[in-house]
A and B are shown apart, each in its own frame.
Chain A
């Protein structure tokens, strides 16, 4: 079946502009996660959505970052007034909400490479 998809694959923007990144999870996966990977680094958790529960926003680095998930499926990560330090790869993942053990595995999309000039 189809995996996690993300768009755009690449985004170049000017400092101060807003950007929107989109994630389409695997069908049937009710948990959705956003991570950020700076150059040569590991992944940094940003936010996750779990079914109808309030999202865990504990990883968002500033109030310029926000995310929403409409209809329990597609999610959009918005970065307002972008800064150069926001340049990174933004990765989305999805998983079964109620899975345990290996069933809780998160599957990742290809990422969006964001460059802020």
Chain B
């Protein structure tokens, strides 16, 4: 079974609009971490935002926020006031178990295109 599901293969948004990228996850662990990464066409993976399973507040980092709904096992990324430079692949990932070195499980990604 997929541990991380990103149901939107592609998204097209007008510049300056807000956009929500969906991510649902599947785990039986109580302790886990959720990450979003951006991958531009150049290929590097850029860390955007983190949400811990015990965090009561939704994470925010500048124009990025994470809409964490624990009961629904969803961790959607919200980008406010989108910019042309936001065009990229976006990956949701999960780390299961306690802190320390743990592998990440990635979704298939969403390709976001910002139109001028």
Contact = CB atoms under 8 A, between A and B. Distances in A.
Q: Do A and B bind each other?
A: yes
Interface of A: 30-31, 33, 35, 41-45, 48-51, 56, 59, 89, 91, 93, 95, 97-102, 104-111, 113
A104 B95 contact: yes
A50 B97 CA distance: 15
A45 B108 contact: no
Contacts of A49: 101
Interface residues of B, number: 28
Nearest to A94: B101
A104 B102 contact: yes
Contacts of A45: 103-105
A43 B91 contact: yes
Contacts, number: 78
A2 B17 CA distance: 34
Contacts of A35: 104, 106
Interface string B84-108: 0000000101010011111111111
Contacts of A48: 101, 103
Contact of A50 (B42, B46, B101, B108): B101
Interface string B27-50: 000000101010000111111001
20 contacts: A30-B101, A31-B100, A41-B108, A42-B108, A43-B45, A43-B104, A45-B104, A48-B101, A49-B101, A89-B43, A95-B101, A98-B99, A98-B100, A100-B100, A101-B55, A104-B99, A105-B50, A110-B42, A110-B43, A111-B44
Nearest to B55: A101
A81 B70 CA distance: 45
Contacts of B100: 31, 50, 97-100, 104
